[in-house]
Structure 1
């Protein structure tokens, strides 16, 4: 009886370690997440598979309770509740698709991989093991994605030791020759440390300070300057006129986050600004569920919350460059970046406003995920965050 209890306990502990280390914010440690399917396949019962899945996911998303408490200026209980609720789809999918039949297991796991990559389950599809493709097969593009998916299927078979050795070999070779994605020529990424005031302080002085940043940090040859999510706050005609006037006499395009108001909801967007005018470049496909995206409000006749443009147009154009935009939460899930890559953009622009994540690894994980995808598809990367 003791041995029967010890084996499941080891699997759960190993899954917690895999989730904790794999999603620590270091891009080269992402392949540790590939241990999860091995542990899932070694479960002897569906309940053990459920516990293994829960251990992995909860460890990978461990920063959520603290982050939610900071965002709402509350105690940990709301964050803990959201943490457990968010794990529900991941745990349910992997528990329901688990099977004792070894011949069916690779196809069951493939179903879980696909299910957690696409809506509706993919809306909370954090910590997806396929994100490791960029650290294992950098530069392979779609072939690298297919290769790591095939590897995940192999890791749930009896041949998993051989598959693990092959994947480890590619991982070690990648780590030995690793280079971070390059910043595209003529682009400048601006990181800010303005905390919770970003997007909330709409004063003339704040906008003037941001404009000064453009002019002070944009040397000769810079054509585009990228600011974090929410930088411009609510997008109004007054803000628009101020920026366009300030950019007169320059050929710089500013890309910055803002919010545009609708009748009952708002859009989290990226705005393009230049001396010639402004435009909404991109509307976020997946805002943060719970804190931003609250579809249930409309069910009760209430307004508020951000709109989710789930499969909205995934490419923005800045000058003569085609850009794959990722705003904050979109860096943690799978389908937005893959939808953008179907259009073969010139570069990736990933922005975020992570002031509420202080003391957690969330922003580091966002950066690592964006870097992994950029390396997989050999795309230049622009990262801009506020903390």
Structure 2
């Protein structure tokens, strides 16, 4: 009994370390997440498997309580509550599908991975080990995704040490020959440090400052300038006219985040603006659950909150390129990027407004995830964040 207890404690401790290291914001460390299925399969009871899953998930998402507290200017308790609630899906799925049967265990883990990759469980399906495919098998595309999936299934079998050695060999090979991601020619992503004021300061002075910054960026070779989520604030006819007038007579295209508000709520969108006009390029498929997307509001007879356009508009076209947009939260989950990759885009465009994550690794994790997916599918990547 004492030996079983000690083993359980060690497995839980190892899962916490794995979640912390893998999701530290360094793309090269993402394969550490593949430790989780090994620890899950070594658990001797369903309860231990649940605690292993909880340790991994809570460690991987450890920045959430502090981020929520900053966002709402409150104490840690709301963030802690959201942190624990978000873990229920991951823990519940992996605890339910844990089994002693070695024959069916790989298929149970595959089922758990699929459930956490797709809605509804995939809505909070953070910290997925499959994200490491871009580090293990760069440029392999869908074959790399398949190979990683097969590796994950192998890690929950009796031959997991041999599978781990093979995957580690690919990891070391990738690290030895890792090169920086290619940037699209004439495209430039702008990082801002405007804090909480971005998207909330809707004055003409702010817009003119952004326009001046765009023109400064376009003075070189850049012709398509990407600004962060919420950069344009509320998208109104007045704001549209201001930007159209500023871009008249230029060959500059601006892609920027904005919000379109109506009586029922709002859409978190990407706007494309050039001298020929403005258009809504993309409506966010998965806004942040809880703080932005609040599907329970209509049931309570209330309006407001961001709408989720789950499987809509995965590949808009702008400046002659087909792009895969990932706004903020979409970089942390699996299905939005895979849906976009089905359409073979030219560029991944990853935006965020992460001022509220100050002091956490959330933005670094988002960047690492976007880089991993871009590397896996050999796509060019443009990143633009506000902090």
TM-score (ref. length: structure 2):
0.99
Corresponding position: 1:294 with 2:294: yes
8 Å CA contact 1:37, 1:156 repeated in 2: yes
Cα distance in 2, alignment partners of residues 132 and 108 from structure 1:
20
1:336-375 alignment runs, 5 A limit: 336-375=336-375
Cα distance in 2, alignment partners of residues 32 and 79 from structure 1:
26
Q: Structure 1 residues 244-253 or 363-372, which shifts more?
A: 244-253
8 Å CA contact 2:240, 2:278 repeated in 1: yes
Report what 1:160 is aligned to: 160
Q: Secondary structure at the match of 2:117?
A: coil
8 Å CA contact 1:122, 1:334 repeated in 2: yes
Report what 1:68 is aligned to: 68
Q: Structure 1 residues 160-169 or 179-188, which shifts more?
A: 179-188
Q: Secondary structure at the match of 2:297?
A: helix
Cα distance in 1, alignment partners of residues 266 and 180 from structure 2:
35
The RMSD of aligned alpha carbons is 0.6
Corresponding position: 1:316 with 2:316: yes
Deviations 1:11-34 (A, max 9, x none): 000000000000000000000000
8 Å CA contact 2:263, 2:304 repeated in 1: no
Q: Secondary structure at the match of 1:296?
A: coil
8 Å CA contact 1:180, 1:375 repeated in 2: no
Q: Secondary structure at the match of 1:271?
A: strand
Report what 1:178 is aligned to: 178
- Stretches of 4+ aligned residues off by more than 6 angstroms: none
8 Å CA contact 1:26, 1:364 repeated in 2: yes
Deviation, 1:218, is 1.2
Report what 1:386 is aligned to: 386
Cα distance in 2, alignment partners of residues 3 and 188 from structure 1:
57
Report what 2:258 is aligned to: 258
Cα distance in 1, alignment partners of residues 330 and 217 from structure 2:
28
Report what 1:17 is aligned to: 17
Cα distance in 2, alignment partners of residues 236 and 347 from structure 1:
28
8 Å CA contact 1:225, 1:255 repeated in 2: yes
Report what 2:328 is aligned to: 328
TM-score (ref. length: structure 1):
0.99
Cα distance in 1, alignment partners of residues 144 and 265 from structure 2:
39
Report what 1:81 is aligned to: 81
Instruction: Count residues in correspondence.
Output: 387
Report what 2:49 is aligned to: 49
Corresponding position: 1:110 with 2:110: yes
Structure 1 residue runs without a partner (length 5+): none
Q: Secondary structure at the match of 1:348?
A: strand
Deviation, 1:223, is 2.0
Cα distance in 2, alignment partners of residues 317 and 160 from structure 1:
44
